[in-house]
Structures are given as structure tokens and as C-alpha cells.
Amino acid sequence: MGLSPMKPSETREPTWLRIDLHAHTRFSPDAAMSPRELVERALEAGLDRIAVTDHGEIEGALEARAYAPEHVIVGEEIRCEGKTELIGLFLTERIPQDLPLEETVERIRAQGGLVYAPHPYAYAWRSRWHAARAMAVADIVEVFNSRAFYPPWNRRALEAARARGVAAAASTDAHFAHEIGRAFTEVPAFDGPDGLLRALAQGTPVGLTTASPFIHVASIGLKAVRRLAAPGRVAPDRQRSAAIQPLGAD
């Protein structure tokens, strides 16, 4: 299991996929993309699968999947009690925020989902305690996050994943369209949660570039503007279109 800071091979097997398991739509209060825009940008960037993992919400993921059923994995970034963060992948129902970590994991697994540890060592406020909690329950560890601008953060995640022998992935954590494609994992073709784990065991995480710290300023600013525009309500309108057509069908 390695982490490439360079461009991936152009001679990969034709059946292999490029996947990003951590991205956000405007259903997250600090992200700008519509579900359709995220899907279109992912396909333009050469991704074969993308997990939509909004904060405390799956509506954006469900809408994105309606546009591209074969390309979207429904997920959610979940803040557990104590502020440890996990991502649930392959979800069918939203999981509430601020539940005990153990209950959050139980609810993810009850849906047949996988537990993904996002950016376990990133950001100053995140202690090793948070990382240890997330790593202890994770099926997959994010070893490269393209928003983690301080290199040791990603390096520590890679070292910890290797030490545990757990599946590793590189993802963008994209909140804006231009972030899509900065990181992904190359894996054999797969189907479903178990297939993803088997594929990641053979896969290669690829981190092309990390963002400037100012990308976080943009997200914080967007969240603040939304709060001012709709006091007491951070998330955008959650009403989904009643007649979404897959891309190419309209």
C-alpha cells in the first residue's frame, strides 16, 4: 500500500476505477456544489465513483445518485458525541449527529454500510484521542485528504493505517467544484461494500495536490453567509426535485 504524490499511470487496467470517497454538495452548509454539478464535475475529472458525504445529511447524496445511479455512493459525514467524526458509506437512511460513537457505528453497520475515518489527524483542534477513536472502528482510513494542507497530517494517517493493516483511501473532501480530481484511489472494479474493501486491498491511493489553507476560509465564509441569510438554519433547502432524470436522459 503506497501513496503516490505524482500522476497515476496512464496504462492502468481498463477495468480499474478511480474513486473519491469523500465529497460534499450544497446540502452541507459550507459547500457550494449542487448534486448535479458535483456529478458532472466528477465525470469530467475522470472519476468512476464518488461518495457524496454531506455533513449530517444524505439528501444531496440521494439526489446525486438519481442523476448517476452507477457512479454515486450514498454517504454521510457524521459528528459523534465528543466531536469525533466518521463517515458512513453505502447508507440508506440518515444517521443523527452527536450520538455516542459506538451507536453511530452500530447504525452504519445495521444499514450494511462501511465506517470510514476522514482526515483523522488533520487540523489543530483534533487530538490524537479523536484519531484513536476513529481508527479503532474504521473499515477504511483516509490517508490523503486534499484539504489537509499540512503534510504531516496525511503522513500520520498513512502510517497509522499501515500499522493497523486497514484499508486506505485518498479523497478530496471537496466542497467546491475545482477541488474534484485532486485525489482519488485506483481500484479494481467492485460492487457493494464488501467488494469495495476487497478492491481497496489491491488499490493505490493517489494524492495529486493539496489545497491552500484559504480554501477553509472560503468554506467558513459560505457557512457564515448562509447563517446571515437564514438565521437558525444553516443547511440549504432540502426539497429535492420530484422529477430528476439521470444525466443524458433529458
Q: Look at the block and give the residue holding cell 438554519.
A: 233
Contacts of 181 (CB under 8 A, 6+ apart): 41, 42, 45, 46, 47, 172, 208
Flag whether 238 is in a domain: no
Give me the pLDDT at residue 166, please: 97
- 242 in a structural domain: no
Residue 29 lies in a domain: yes
Give 205-245 pLDDT, tens digit per residue: 999 866 556 565 556 665 666 677 776 554 554 455 445 77
In a domain, 223, yes or no: yes
Question: Which pLDDT value is given to residue 5?
Answer: 45
Domain count, the chain: 1
Q: What is the pLDDT of residues 170-204, one digit of tens each?
A: 999 999 999 999 999 999 999 999 999 999 999 99
Domain contains 153: yes
Alpha carbon distance 171, 205 (integer Å): 8
pLDDT digits (tens, 9 = 90+) for 14-58: 789 999 999 999 999 989 899 999 999 999 999 999 999 999 999
Mean pLDDT is lowest, of 28-32, 65-69, 109-113, 239-243, for 239-243
Domain span including residue 92: 17-229
114 part of a folded domain: yes
CATH code of the domain containing 222? 3.20.20.140
Q: What is the pLDDT of residue 15?
A: 85
Whether residue 60 lies inside any domain: the answer is yes
Query: Is 239 within the bounds of a domain?
Result: no
